[in-house]
């Protein structure tokens, strides 16, 4: 789609039909979108934005009012007011042009709905060629503002969401009252239907479906094992398959939790670094390079960052592993079932190198010069082939930075017991 106007304006009624001029020039509704030929007067000084509302714990849209409709917009509002009266529910929808990537097509421009507000026909004023009306916020913000000074009480100990009713009005949006204090990305235990899907040979929902599909969301409700602040940290943990998480406690202390691999959605692993390279978005596909790109892109184009996360459909589920005093300082358990040792454990293709096998690893490159004995104690969906290995560098920020940059050639010598003669 070629680049067009930055903003498009639509007038709709409650039946979601668009109002505009038909082929004969008459004002009429249609199922096809009709962008106004003239934007509402005063739009240049209008502010439409998403702001974090700490009182309502969510995104709250803000818009300045009123607006003056001119030309075709004035004719449409006037026609609806005269024929249907001031009680008619009529809405102004605003779409903003964005640049997006579509597989097989490339980058193209499209318009995304950023605002929908009700036109208050009770404030209708027709002066000259202009029709002026106030706008009312639609949906949940509308009802919250209408009841801003009313005190309500409802239970907060429900395990999931609470359906709120205000003055007899049931809010169709469900509000989650869990205080995450900035931690918004959940790590989940396996859902109940995962084992059945595995037995039937069907993969479970993809990463994107887990984030957006109501059935997947319902299956995971109440199965959270931890909350993270950074979706990239969650993605790294999914790729690694296990790790440690520092969890804040109600008394202000922190404790280290060891999360172990408990299953996956059986979807194929896709490299987010390769996805970014193929689109020319980065040149450095290491994790520090990917994080730098995310930090520079998240604010200006969050949709592309989300598409990058969804490009890897594989999703891992976790279980909290009990840490005893003996193994408290040891690494996470690998696929062999034993704790990994920093600098001495590697992940391999288990079909090529059996678990527990001693291996001599030799690797020289820009990130490290390694000549040492290691042990095959873990695996990963991205590790395929006999001469592939992931080196366990340990835990902590320094080890994470090293692991994120560690991508270089290697040689492996598998040490087998000598056969008896």
Run of H or E including 215 = helix 214-220
Q: What is the pLDDT of residue 141?
A: 55
- Three-class secondary structure of residue 146 per DSSP: helix
Burial of 123 (0-12, 13-18, 19+ CB in 10 A): middle
- 187 neighbors 224 (Cβ within 8 angstroms): yes
Contacts 24+ apart (CB under 8 A), 42-51: 42/67, 42/68, 43/7, 43/9, 43/67, 48/94, 48/114, 48/115
Q: C-alpha 420: how far from its chain's center?
A: 57
Q: What share of the chain is helix, strand, coil (3-state, %, to 5)?
A: 20, 35, 45
Q: What is the pLDDT of residue 275?
A: 92
Which CATH code fits 345-414? 2.40.40.10
Separation CA 236–CA 242 (nearest Å): 10
Q: What is the pLDDT of residue 375?
A: 93
Out of 331-340, 345-354, 398-407, least confident range = 398-407
Backbone angles phi, psi at 126, to 5 degrees: -110, 110
User: Do the domains 185-321 and 345-414 sit in the same CATH topology, yes or no?
Assistant: no
Strand stretches in 265-327, DSSP E: 316-321
| CA distances for 92 relative to 59, 81, 233, angstroms | 19, 14, 39
Q: What is the residue-averaged pLDDT of the chain?
A: 76
- Exposure on the CB side of residue 146, measured as CA atoms within 13 A: 13
pLDDT (tens digit per residue) in 313-326: 999 999 887 665 55
Read off the pLDDT of each residue in 156-161 and give the average, rounded to a whole number.
Answer: 48
Q: What is the pLDDT of residue 247?
A: 79
Q: What is the pLDDT of residue 260?
A: 83
Domain boundaries of the chain, sorted by first residue: 7-170, 185-321, 345-414
Indicate the pairing of strand 90-102 with strand 7-13: antiparallel
Strand stretches in 189-228, DSSP E: 224-228
| CATH class of this structure's domain 185-321 | mainly beta
Is residue 172's pLDDT more than 50?
no
Q: C-alpha 314: how far from its chain's center?
A: 14
The residue that leads in pLDDT, 240 or 352, is 352
Is residue 178's pLDDT more than 50?
no
| Cβ partners under 8 Å of residue 142, min gap 6 | 118, 136
Q: What is the pLDDT of residue 180?
A: 39
- Both tokens of 336, joined, read 């062999």
């Amino acid at each position: 789609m070629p680049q067009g106007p930055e903003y498009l304006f639509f007038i709709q009624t409650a039946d979601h039909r668009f109002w505009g001029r038909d082929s004969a020039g008459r004002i009429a509704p249609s199922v096809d979108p009709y962008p106004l030929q003239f934007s509402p007067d005063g739009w240049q000084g209008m502010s439409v934005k998403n702001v974090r509302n700490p009182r309502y714990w969510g995104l709250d849209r803000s818009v300045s009012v009123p607006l003056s409709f001119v030309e075709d917009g004035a004719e449409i509002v006037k026609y609806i007011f005269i024929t249907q009266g001031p009680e008619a529910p009529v809405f102004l929808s605003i779409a903003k042009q964005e640049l997006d990537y579509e597989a097989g097509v490339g980058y193209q421009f499209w318009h995304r709905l950023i605002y929908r507000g009700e036109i208050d026909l009770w404030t209708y004023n027709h002066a000259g060629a202009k029709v002026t009306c106030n706008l009312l916020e639609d949906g949940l913000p509308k009802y919250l503002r209408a009841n801003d000074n009313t005190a309500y009480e409802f239970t907060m100990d429900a395990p999931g969401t609470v359906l709120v009713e205000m003055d007899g009005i049931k809010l169709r949006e469900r509000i989650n009252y869990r205080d995450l204090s900035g931690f918004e990305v959940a790590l989940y235990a396996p859902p109940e239907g995962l084992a059945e899907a595995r037995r039937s040979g069907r993969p479970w929902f993809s990463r994107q479906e887990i984030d957006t599909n109501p059935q997947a969301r319902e299956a995971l409700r109440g199965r959270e094992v931890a909350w993270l602040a950074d979706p990239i940290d969650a993605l790294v943990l999914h790729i690694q398959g296990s790790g440690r998480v520092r969890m804040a406690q109600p008394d202000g202390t922190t404790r280290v939790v060891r999360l172990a691999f408990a299953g996956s959605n059986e979807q194929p692993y896709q490299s987010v670094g390769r996805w970014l390279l193929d689109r020319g978005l980065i040149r450095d596909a290491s994790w520090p390079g990917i994080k730098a790109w995310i930090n520079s892109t998240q604010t200006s184009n969050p949709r592309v960052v989300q598409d990058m996360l969804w490009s890897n459909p594989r999703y891992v589920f976790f279980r909290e592993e009990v840490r005893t005093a003996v193994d408290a300082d040891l690494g996470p358990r690998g696929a062999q079932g034993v704790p990994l040792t920093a600098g001495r454990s590697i992940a391999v293709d288990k079909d090529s190198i059996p678990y527990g096998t001693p291996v001599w690893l030799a690797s020289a490159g820009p990130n490290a010069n390694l000549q040492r004995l290691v042990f095959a104690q873990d695996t990963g969906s991205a590790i395929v082939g006999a001469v592939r290995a992931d080196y366990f560098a340990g835990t902590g920020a320094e080890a994470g930075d090293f692991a994120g940059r560690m991508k270089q050639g290697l040689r492996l010598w598998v040490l087998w017991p000598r056969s008896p003669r």
